[in-house]
Amino acid sequence: MIIDGFVNQLPDIDPGETQEWRESLDGVVEARGKPRARFLMSSLLERARELQVGTPATVSTPYVNTIPPDQEPWFPGDEHLERRIRAYIRWNAAVMVVKANKHAEGIGGHLATFASSASLYEVGFNHFWRGKRDGLAGDQVFFQGHAAPGIYARAFLEGRLTAEQLDHFRREVGGGGLSSYPHPRLMPEFWEFPTVSMGLGPLNSIYQARFNKYLHNREVDDTSGSRVWCFVGDGECDEPETLGAISLAAREQLDNLTWVVNCNLQRLDGPVRGNGKIIQELEAIFRGAGWNVIKVIWGRQWDDLLQRDVDGVLLNKMNTTLDGEFQRYAVESGAYIREHFFGPDRRLRQMVEHLSDDELRNLPRGGHDYRKLYAAYKAATEQVGAPTVILAKTIKGWTLGPDVEGRNATHQIKKMTNEQLRLLRERLYLHDEVPAEALADGAEPPYISLREDSPEYEYMTHRGRALSGPVPSRVVRDRRPIELPADTAFDEMSAGSGTQQASTTTAFTRLLRNLCRDPHFGPRVVPIIPDEARTFGMDALFREFKIYAALGQHYQPVDAEMLLSYVESKDGQILEEGITEAGAMASFIAAGTAYATHGVPMAPFFIFYSMFGFQRVMDLIWAASDARTRGFMLGATAGRTTLAGEGLQHQDGHSLLLASAVPTVEAYDPAFAYEVAAIVRHGLQRMFVDGEDVIFYLTLYNENQAMPPMPDGAETGIIDGLYRWASRPEGPTRRATILFSGPAHHAARQAQVELAEHYDVGAELWSATSYKRLREQALSVERWNRLHPNEVPLTPLVTERLAATEGPIVAVTDFMKIVPDQISRWAPQPFVPLGTDGFGRSDTRDALRRFFETDAPNVVVTVLSALARQGEIKPEVVADAIARYGFDPDAGDPRTVYAQHRSDTTSTAQQAQSLGQF
């Protein structure tokens, strides 16, 4: 059944006229066929657009170039020279990878991706991308990670890399090697943006373009001279991160953003859409999202054929040929193409009768044609009010020879014999540059380098000068230095809250407000929140600092009269991202690398639901670290028992563990407002005075408490990760030490009282703000000792701090036990962690802390048990305490198979029991 669309629901004021139009169409289909009818319909739609009739845009157009030949601009380059340069780069890229794999088995590398995209890059390099000379910020180019060999090969021709460096492709350990993919962490003067984890580059590029506009609209920096370019694989478009934010780009009218999708129709294993057409699919998606779409499918030799296509048969063939078939044509002979593509239809066959088989085989795809690409790039840069995507059709492994080009295995081919290289030399016309004997069997293939007086070198440097320097290049310069906030911003936190109750989340919100208010530092603060501000009480900031809205606020908010109304503004400061932790993370990266990208240090504070941070967007955090991002991540509503009612999928007891895996993340678990303030102040110092590329992660909790003032001299200990918070009470004869983090201080403090009152134990309390930091320090000491056998061994800081403690050490946390366990090896006394392993569940805080065995009675029993093991007290004392607190010692017998899931099996057993009662 065909359901007639919306038209039938509207009144028809002239049914006769409607009928006539419909019948005319029927007539065309009948007499001239569907292709003609399609042509007429397309023409009518185009005319309707010209007349601004307001018909909705169609999401898909025929399988031809978007820009017709007569609208192509003049190509301003020297095409011959550019082809020569492209050939040299292609050669060097291949030789580099081949040599790397000849000398180091298993080192890897890719030939086919760059072979398909060399022209896409060269047009950008030669005509569009602006570098960073003369104090300019330049363009931001996100390269496809696997195309890195080509980017190195070009930098070599430019004289920016040496042959020795090329010889050290993927050999980084000795220094001076080249990274496999774009890694600013390892090549900080070359790469700007890590891209190789598929999907992250495209996502980051959108938020980079958005952040450029943000800087501009807030008048922090003039970014109108920067354009963001992103190169994307067609297979990469299957990653949710790739396409997940494209509507934002259209909504915010990011006309400073251009994507080039390298549609070589293949991914790693095989075709991207063998049974379909990836270009058509992507066109519909992007057009639907509001992007300007430019298809570059056919090289110029096809223009003439399309001109002769009076019956629309060629167009029809183009439209109906599947990608799987196009891939086949890329590897087949001219005769095969003649028979199968042109052959079945007499009119088509006639159309190419004048072309030889060789000419047929070499009818190029648009993505290898400079003129077509130039026209598309130029149109993209002139587009106003929308981002542009260029869908360029290419061949994977282009001209790398019959064993590589278009083959399903092409992606992973990294070796070529000298025989294959000889063939490549033919295909690239490199007879003069590469002497035949250099490729004799067993010979080491040579790189091509340019003499400085060669026309190619002059052309490249001239283009480079005209475009303000080479790309990519990463430079850190202080175009607009940042000034740290005045101390007053922190004073309030250090003073404590008296009897007033507050959570560390509220305290942080006040701190953030103070920082934003600082006259010098304030404008550099970038608060980033993915639709969770109200949860954290941060809606208070909306009115004062406003929410960034690219186009302003065109409506009166429902709460306009209220104190905390939802105020959006073009110069708003808060990035209210909506429900996208990935997008928020991309903003965090753009802001946290602005010190390098724009020479304008910015201080991002990304506040999120802690469960949906590291666990959700770890790969982006890894990329942020690679990109040398500086900034603060705040995991609010942290803890597996402090966030009480939300249950399994919300209660975070492991983000600190995940954070411990990221080398440049400083992970802190503060208990009090003054600790939060001291850590933030220290972080700012490290990032913006010491110039360290670090990310600070702080957990924030929603449990209200009276905030104590900062003890004198505590600051160093807070930063180091451990300091004595309360000394042992006078009186008791036995000794113990309790380490607490975050809200576990409640349990520790109560336990201290209980132990003194009932068990003659005097316990010291220590605040452990960062186990990660203590562990890393201890590891470095351990290594030093290992390698300095003749020297007096050094003592890890954690051991030194705890050296004077007496009795067992019990560490209690609202995170998994493995978090404090990070330092157990260096504890000078027996060490027992208490934490929240297993899934969270909904209940009150007290019930949860009892369940996870992190409440005060459990701390008491753990201390007593440890003392008993040391022979300090009798086991009966422990047994008495267990009975007194009503623990069930038999829940979770370690001899059962499921011991490690104790917390969950118990609950299942309980459930079964209660069900049994019905």
C-beta nearest to ligand TPP: residue: 233
Determine, following the binding rule CB under 6 A, whether residue 170 of this chain makes contact with ligand TPP.
Answer: no
Q: Residues near 63 by Cβ (< 8 Å), separated by ≥ 6?
A: 277, 279, 280, 295, 297, 315, 318, 319
Number of residues that bind ligand TPP (CB under 6 A): 18
Q: Which is nearer to ligand TPP, 397 or 820 (CB)?
A: 397
Which of 221, 234, 626, 855 touches Mg ion (CB under 5 A)? 234
Q: Which is nearer to ligand TPP, 337 or 395 (CB)?
A: 395
Q: Which is nearer to ligand TPP, 90 or 411 (CB)?
A: 411
Q: Which is nearer to ligand TPP, 199 or 639 (CB)?
A: 199
Report the alpha-carbon distance of residue 642 to residue 653 in Å, rounded: 10
Encoded amino acid at 289, one letter: A
Number of residues that bind Mg ion (CB under 5 A): 5
Determine, following the binding rule CB under 6 A, whether residue 735 of this chain makes contact with ligand TPP.
Answer: no
Which option in Mg ion, ligand TPP, none does residue 236 bind, with CB closer than 5 to 8 A by kind? ligand TPP
Determine, following the binding rule CB under 6 A, whether residue 168 of this chain makes contact with ligand TPP.
Answer: no
From residue 355 to residue 394, the character string flagging contacts with ligand TPP as x (rule: CB under 6 A) and all else as - is: ----------------------------------------
Which option in ligand TPP, Mg ion, none does residue 202 bind, with CB closer than 5 to 8 A by kind? none
Give min distance, CB of 669 to ligand TPP, in A: 30
Determine, following the binding rule CB under 5 A, whether residue 202 of this chain makes contact with Mg ion.
Answer: no
- Footprint (CB under 6 A) of ligand TPP, residues 214-253: 233-236
Q: For the chain, report the end-to-end CA distance as a whole number of angstroms.
A: 52
Q: Which of 896, 895, 817 is nearest to 853 (CA)?
A: 817
Give min distance, CB of 242 to ligand TPP, in A: 9
Q: Residues near 898 by Cβ (< 8 Å), separated by ≥ 6?
A: 905
Encoded amino acid at 128, one letter: F
Report the alpha-carbon distance of residue 101 to residue 156 in Å, rounded: 19
Determine, following the binding rule CB under 6 A, whether residue 267 of this chain makes contact with ligand TPP.
Answer: yes
Part of the chain binding ligand TPP (CB under 6 A), chosen from 259-267, 512-520, 598-606, 708-716: 259-267
Determine, following the binding rule CB under 6 A, whether residue 527 of this chain makes contact with ligand TPP.
Answer: no
DSSP assignment of 480-515 equals S---PPPTHHHHHHHH--TT-EE-HHHHHHHHHHHH
Q: Which is nearer to ligand TPP, 182 or 601 (CB)?
A: 182
Which of 57, 268, 466, 661 touches ligand TPP (CB under 6 A)? 268
- Footprint (CB under 6 A) of ligand TPP, residues 107-166: 113, 144, 146
Q: Which is nearer to ligand TPP, 281 or 880 (CB)?
A: 281
Report the alpha-carbon distance of residue 104 to residue 189 in Å, rounded: 26
Give min distance, CB of 149 to ligand TPP, in A: 12
Report residue 766 as tokens.
């220590």
Residue 538 exposed, middle or buried by CB count within 10 Å (0-12, 13-18, 19+) = buried
Q: Which of 798, 810, 822, 663 is nearest to 722 (CA)?
A: 798
Give min distance, CB of 147 to ligand TPP, in A: 7
Determine, following the binding rule CB under 5 A, whether residue 264 of this chain makes contact with Mg ion.
Answer: yes
Which option in ligand TPP, Mg ion, none does residue 113 bind, with CB closer than 5 to 8 A by kind? ligand TPP
Report the alpha-carbon distance of residue 99 to residue 728 in Å, rounded: 66
From residue 67 to residue 106, the character string flagging contacts with ligand TPP as x (rule: CB under 6 A) and all else as - is: ----------------------------------------
Q: Which of 681, 749, 662, 664 is nearest to 719 (CA)?
A: 681
How many beta carbons lie within 10 A of that of residue 887, not counting itself?
15
DSSP assignment of 217-236 equals HTTS---TT--EEEEEETGG
Which option in ligand TPP, Mg ion, none does residue 184 bind, with CB closer than 5 to 8 A by kind? none
Give min distance, CB of 112 to ligand TPP, in A: 7
CA 327, chain centre distance (Å): 31
Q: Which is nearer to ligand TPP, 626 or 754 (CB)?
A: 626
Q: Which is nearer to Mg ion, 276 or 552 (CB)?
A: 276
Q: Which is nearer to ligand TPP, 233 or 334 (CB)?
A: 233
**669 contacts 606 by C-beta, under 8 angstroms:** no
Determine, following the binding rule CB under 5 A, whether residue 323 of this chain makes contact with Mg ion.
Answer: no
Which option in Mg ion, ligand TPP, none does residue 837 bind, with CB closer than 5 to 8 A by kind? none
Part of the chain binding ligand TPP (CB under 6 A), chosen from 195-203, 354-362, 383-391, 653-661: 195-203
DSSP assignment of 812-828 equals E-SS-THHHHTTGGG-S
Which option in Mg ion, ligand TPP, none does residue 146 bind, with CB closer than 5 to 8 A by kind? ligand TPP
Q: Which of 12, 55, 15, 63 is nearest to 35 (CA)?
A: 63
Q: Classify strands 705-706 and 501-502 as parallel, antiparallel or unpaired.
A: antiparallel
How many beta carbons lie within 10 A of that of residue 83, not counting itself?
16
Report the alpha-carbon distance of residue 85 to residue 578 in Å, rounded: 46
Report residue 433 as tokens.
């540059």
Give min distance, CB of 264 to Mg ion, in A: 4
Which option in Mg ion, ligand TPP, none does residue 197 bind, with CB closer than 5 to 8 A by kind? ligand TPP
Report the alpha-carbon distance of residue 56 to residue 49 in Å, rounded: 9
Q: Classify strands 722-726 and 761-768 as parallel, antiparallel or unpaired.
A: antiparallel
Part of the chain binding ligand TPP (CB under 6 A), chosen from 27-35, 196-204, 308-316, 479-487: 196-204
Which option in Mg ion, ligand TPP, none does residue 198 bind, with CB closer than 5 to 8 A by kind? ligand TPP
Give min distance, CB of 236 to ligand TPP, in A: 3
Give min distance, CB of 79 to ligand TPP, in A: 24
DSSP, collapsed to helix, strand or coil, labels residue 140 as strand
Which option in ligand TPP, Mg ion, none does residue 422 bind, with CB closer than 5 to 8 A by kind? none
Q: Residues near 586 by Cβ (< 8 Å), separated by ≥ 6?
A: 203, 204, 206, 207, 208, 245, 620
Q: Residues near 578 by Cβ (< 8 Å), separated by ≥ 6?
A: 530, 531
Q: Backbone phi, then psi, for 361, in 5-degree steps? A: -65, -30
Q: Which is nearer to Mg ion, 265 or 529 (CB)?
A: 265
Chain contacts with ligand TPP (rule: CB under 6 A) = 113, 144, 146, 196-198, 233-236, 262, 264, 266-268, 272, 396, 411
Chain contacts with Mg ion (rule: CB under 5 A) = 233-235, 264, 266
